[in-house]
Amino acid sequence: MIKIENLRKVYSDNGYEALKSINLEMNEGELVCLLGPSGCGKTTILNLLAGLLDPTSGDIKFDNDSVINKHPKDRNIGLVFQNYALYPHMTVLQNVMFPLTVGKNKVSKQEAETRAKKYMEITNILELADKKPGNMSGGQQQRVAITRALVQNPKVLLLDEPLSNLDARLRLRIREEIRRLVKEIGITTIFVTHDQEEALSISDRIVIMDSGIVQQFDIPQNLYLEPANLFVAKFMGNPIINLFTAEKNGNNLTTKDFSINLNLLTKDRFKGELNKGKYIVGIRPEYFVLSQSPLFNVAIESVELIGKDAILNFNISGEHVKSITDINEKIQENQTVGFDIDYSKIYIFNEDGTRVY
Ligand code: ATP
C-alpha cells in the first residue's frame, strides 16, 4: 500500500510550488493513473515516489514504512519513461538482464537469463531476444523497457507517459497489454498520462490534478458522472461539457435564453442550499434531449456524424453548444429543433467551481 501524506514540493531554483499538499492512498495491486494538464505536477509526484526528488515537506510510505530517506535504489521501484532508455549496443535479452547483473540485485548470469526469459515470455518479446533496440518498432521497444523494469520484481511500477511516442493504434494495443500484464503480475502501478481516454480505459482509479492540487481521486465512471468540481467536469468528456452562466431568481435558474425550474431537479443530488446569486450550469452534450414540449427551440448550425451519433452544433444563451443525438433522428443543418434537458444529469457549480448539484 502506498500512502502519500501532506506532500509538498517547492522547486528551490525558482521557488515554484509544484505540489501544494497531496494526500493519497493507493491499494496493493491497484493501477492508478495520474491525470491532468501539462504542468499540474504529475511527473513531480512520480519523481518523489521514485526518490529522484526530495519533498519540501510531507511523507511517502510503502507498506507503512516511510521511504523519504531511502535512496532510489532501495525503494524497490521499477521506472519506465516515455523515451524507453534502452542500451542500443545490447540485445533485447541483454537489456532485460542488465538490472540483474549490477548492484544489489546482482544474481548469477544464468539466473539473470532465466528470470529475464520468464518475464520476456509474459510480455511476449521472447522472439526479439537477439535483436538490438534500433531495429525494433516503438511498441516493441516500450515492451522491452517495461520488461526490464519488471524483471527486478519491484514492489511498485511507475510509468511516465509510457505510450506518448507511439502512434494512435499502437497506443491502444499497448495500453490494453499493460493493464493485462500488471494485473496478471499483481503489481501496484502508477501511470502518468495527460490523455483522459487512456486513463479511463486502463485505471482502477484516477487521480485528477490541477496546479499541484488533487481535484478528485475516484473510479473512472465517477469522474465523468459525479465530477467533484467544475475543473473535473470540464476536463473529462469529449465533446467538452456545455457551460452556461445563470442567476437564481426565486425558484428558477435563469440563463440568457432559457430558465431551469429548480423544482424539476432531483432533490437528493443537491449538495447544499442554492442561495440567490450567480451559478454555472453544466450540461453534457448527451443530456440535451429532443422534445415536443421543449425548454427552447434553436436552429441547428451544423451536424457532425460520428458513427451511430450525430453532434449538433447550435448557439443558445451566448454559448456555442454541442449536443449528441442518435443518427437516426436525421437532423439536418438549418433545421429548427426543440430541446429539453435531462434534469437529473445536469450539474450546477458555484462561481468558484465547487459543485452544488
Ligand atoms: P507534463 O505533462 O508537461 O510533463 P506534469 O504534470 O508532469 O507536466 P511537472 O513536470 O510535475 O508537471 O511540473 C509541475 C510544475 O513544476 C510545472 O509548472 C513545471 O514548470 C515546474 N517544474 C518542474 N520541474 C522543475 C524544476 N526542476 N525547477 C523548477 N520548476 C520545475
Q: Return the sign of the alpha-carbon dihedral for residues 304, 236, 209, 221.
A: negative
Q: Given pLDDT bands bounded at 50, 70 and 90, which one contains residue 177?
A: confident
**Chain-wide mean pLDDT for the chain?**
94
Pocket test for ligand 1, best of 42, 209, 213 (most atoms within 8 A of CB): 42
- Strand-by-strand arrangement of the 302-306 sheet: 302-306, 309-316, 319-326
Instruction: Note the pLDDT of residue 84.
Output: 72
Residue nearest atom 28 of ligand 1, based on CA coordinates: 11
**Ligand 1 environment, Cβ below 6 A:** 11, 13-14, 16, 18, 36, 38-44, 194
Cβ-based neighbours of 69, under 8 Å, separated by 6 or more: none
pLDDT digits (tens, 9 = 90+) for 182-195: 999 899 999 999 99
Q: Say if CB 87 and CB 98 are below 8 A apart.
A: yes
Q: For ligand 1, atom 29, which residue shows the shortest CA distance?
A: 11
Nearest CA to ligand 1 atom 20: 39
Q: Is the pLDDT of residue 166 over 90?
A: no
Minimum-distance ligand 1 atom for the alpha carbon of 34: 6
Q: Is 69 buried (19+), middle (13-18) or exposed (0-12) by CB count in 10 A?
A: exposed
Average pLDDT over residues 56-67: 97
The model's pLDDT over 242-300, given as tens digits with 9 standing for 90+, comes to 999 999 999 999 999 999 999 999 999 999 889 999 999 999 999 999 999 999 999 99
On whether the CB atoms of residues 65 and 238 are closer than 8 A, the answer is: no
Residue 167 has pLDDT above 90, yes or no: no
pLDDT of residue 49: 97
DSSP run (H or E) holding 112: helix 109-122
Q: What percent of the chain has pLDDT over 70?
A: 100
Is the pTM above the cut of 0.85?
A: yes
Q: What integer is the mean pLDDT of 165-170?
A: 82
pLDDT for residue 105 is more than 90: no
How many Å lie between the centroid of ligand 1 and the Cα of residue 39?
Answer: 5
CA of 143 to the centre of ligand 1 (A): 26
